[in-house]
Structure 1
Amino acid sequence: MTIRIKETKSDRLFVLSCYLYLLVALVIVIYPLIYIISASVSDPKYVGSGEMWLYPMGITFDGYSRVLQNEEIWGGYSNTILYTVVGTLVNLAVTLPAAYALSRQDLAGRGLVMGLILFTMFFSGGLVPTYLLVKDLHMIDTMWALILPSAATVWNIIVSRTFFQSTIPRELQEASEIDGCSDFKLFISIVLPLSAPIITVMALFYGITHWNSYFSALIYLNDADKFPLQMVLRKILVLQELSAESMGIGVSGDSAAAMDKKAEIASLMKYSVIIVSTLPVVIIYPFLQRFFVQGVMIGSVKG
């Protein structure tokens, strides 16, 4: 026998309010995405004048054509892929062993170590001391300046430690020790294969951070050939802003037309590069979503 609970007027009003709230949230989130996609294939004059606000107008793929032909953008793309892959591997190699060690109850002084790690979460040396340290280590204008200073994040260590504490049974560790398994072999052969969700979550967190990062490159890199894609995008944005400012100070004649053309090209390429730079993350995320949700829930709620 099925018992049905009759909804009251206040219940229906609450459900309706939830749907309205979700609808508003959906519009707020999805409108910028639609706008960027439409702007990337629209004539810059319609985008700049504000006539294009949702659907494409004056459809043109000249922006994508210029992006595909621009060697600087492809150089930034390859640099970003390299920094993301190497940086994520370094992050995982530091975060996971540290988190697992801190999850072991038999680790002597783990409370003190955890306290020191948490201290760095709230207090840091600042930008200038960090830059001087990187300079003294001779990492300026190298890939390692973007990777090693951020080799681990305290919050990710805490989440991973909680995952290991709540997922890896103590009895499994004891049985492995009885069989003569070393701590290193236990971690590599048993713990890591059972930790696919948290590995995926950490790889996604660190990977997206490296993919979107530009500030470290702005501080530590001098060679334009080593710039990541986000720095190339920043250069395009700066070019567009400078062109717009130059137009506003009263430049006339052929120079004004040339600057206006450069501004239009920069505007068109800006949206195209945004689409091209975010496409890999958008494609990869659906395949990792299952592990992402599972890893975050276990790593942050339990324990």
Structure 2
Amino acid sequence: MRLVIALGGNALMQRGQPLSTEVQRENARIASQSLATVARDHQIILTHGNGPQVGLLAMQTESFPGVPPYPFDVMGAATGGMIGYILEQELGNCLGRDVPIATLLTRVQVDANDPEFSDPSKFIGPQFDESQVAELSKTRNWIFKKDGDAWRRVIASPRPQHILWHRPIRWLLDQNALVICSGGGGIPVVEEADGRMRGVEAVIDKDRVSGLLAAHIPADLFIIATDVPGIYENYGTPEQKLLTTITADALSGEAFSKGSMGPKVESVVEFVRKTGKAAAVGRLSEIDEIVAHRAGTWIVPD
């Protein structure tokens, strides 16, 4: 089968871990060991997030007075290359030299009038306490929102409209390569009146881009690999229950948080409705069991 697998932030950075390269390497090593078994039996297109990394890079680029900080489209490209390299190296160490692996920087077109630009929701970077938030809001004009018990910076996360281009990805797949692309949700660009593309200050949700990519490739199965067993009904209550198999229509009627499971649910539902194929959400450590339909939440056509 041809699989699009979207790696959650836990693939490289667990909540509360230090934002060091060595921590990311070790987490990528663990992720690659989980993915290796599936990669030997199926063709994989791998996507990933970049929230902690791009947030840290944003802080670092603003620490040099008199030097304009990098814009977010450039930082998206930088973190996509960095994370792609780490994943590519660890996957290569697991799979050996017989499996070609390629990382592609991927531009993704968004709407310049997307409402996210006026009410941002995408968490990036590390956690802060209230005193730090007050200072950074004043000195750097950053916007913060509550993420669990702590505060994190937020930036616009416009909806992806089109991936530029699909052809290089398809060509690599035809050469039996494992492709890493759309890293961090891709590099956000908008189209000008004259047809030229321009980068914008945003971070696109990687689950939405992954679903769009999976529908266009197309994939036989779209998987969002995260750090929870799957999608829960009545999550956080005494009545919570893991959904094992559910139709797209039934799942779309459930209410989920905009900042956590919401984009994942929207992405898998949209993929299933567009393609008539199944999608799944579950733990990265159980990826082989998910592919075999023995773990995770499977979302199936109605």
So what's the TM-score if we normalise by structure 2? 0.23
So what's the TM-score if we normalise by structure 1? 0.23
